Amino acid sequence: MSTSSPAKRAAPASGVNLANMAYRAIMDMILDRHIPSGEVIVEDRLANALSISRTPIREALVRLESEGLVRKEANRPYRVRQVSSREYFQSMRLREILEGEAIANAIDKLDPKRLQAIKTEMLRLREEPKIRVEDHWAADEELHTMIADGSGNAVMAEIIRELRVTTRMFELSGLPSRIRPDCEEHLTIIAALESGDPAKARAAMEQHIRSLATDVLNDIAKV
C-alpha cells in the first residue's frame, strides 16, 4: 500500500475535523489507486502517513464501508472493495434503466445555471489536450448526481449513487481511452436536457451507459 503522495496533501491542519480529513484522504488513495482493489488497509500505516491517531482512521473507514468503497468481515481487517465483472455489468444494466428514468423525470426540474456550469466545464475539458482524470471524474459525478437528485425520487437517487460507486470501483483500473468519448456523450446528454424532450434525454443517457459497458467489455476481451 503506497501512501507517500496522498499523505503530503492530507497533512492535518488546525481546526480540521480529523475523521473527515482521514475520510477524504483515504478515499483519494483508493480512487487514485494508491491502495488497489482487494488490498488490506493497514490502519497503523495510514495513521503514520497522515500523522493522526487510529481513532479518526477507524471513523473514516466506517464511513467508507457504508459508502461501498471498503469491506470488512468479522475479525478481519478492512479491504478495498473488489468488484467482479459480473457485478459490474449487472450494475450497469440497472444504471441504464434507473438513470434513463431519472433523467426523464428530472428534465424540467434542473437548475439552468447549474446545468450551464456543467456544460461549460465539459466544453473546457473537450478542448484540453490532455484531460486530467480527476477533472473528468469530478465533472462526471456532478452531472450524474444532479440528474439523479433532480428526479424527485430520493430512493432511486440513492440506489443510483450506490450503483455508481460499484461501477467506478471496477473502472478504477483504467480505460483512459473512455475519457473523451465520455465528454462527448455528456455533452449529448446536456443537449438533450436543454431540448426539454424527455424521450430524447432518456435515449441519450441509456446510450451513454451502454457505450461505456460495451467499451469495458471490449477492453476485457483484449486481456
Query: Mean pLDDT of residues grouped by 10 in the chain (223 residues)?
Result: 49 62 90 85 93 93 91 90 92 98 97 97 91 86 97 97 90 67 95 97 98 89 73
SS3 content of the chain, % helix, strand, coil (to 5): 70, 0, 25
Q: Within a 10 A sphere around the Cβ of 159, how many other Cβ atoms?
A: 16
pLDDT at 16: 52
Can you name the CATH fold of 4-80?
Answer: Arc Repressor Mutant, subunit A (1.10.10)
pTM: 0.80
Q: Which CATH number fits domain 85-222: 2.40.110.10, 1.20.120.530, 3.30.1300.10, 3.40.190.150?
A: 1.20.120.530
The CA distance from 46 to 28, in Å, is 13
In Å, the largest CA–CA distance within the chain is 54
Domain ranges in the chain are 4-80, 85-222
Backbone angles phi, psi at 70, to 5 degrees: -130, 160
* Contact status, residue 47 vs residue 16, Cβ threshold 8 Å: no
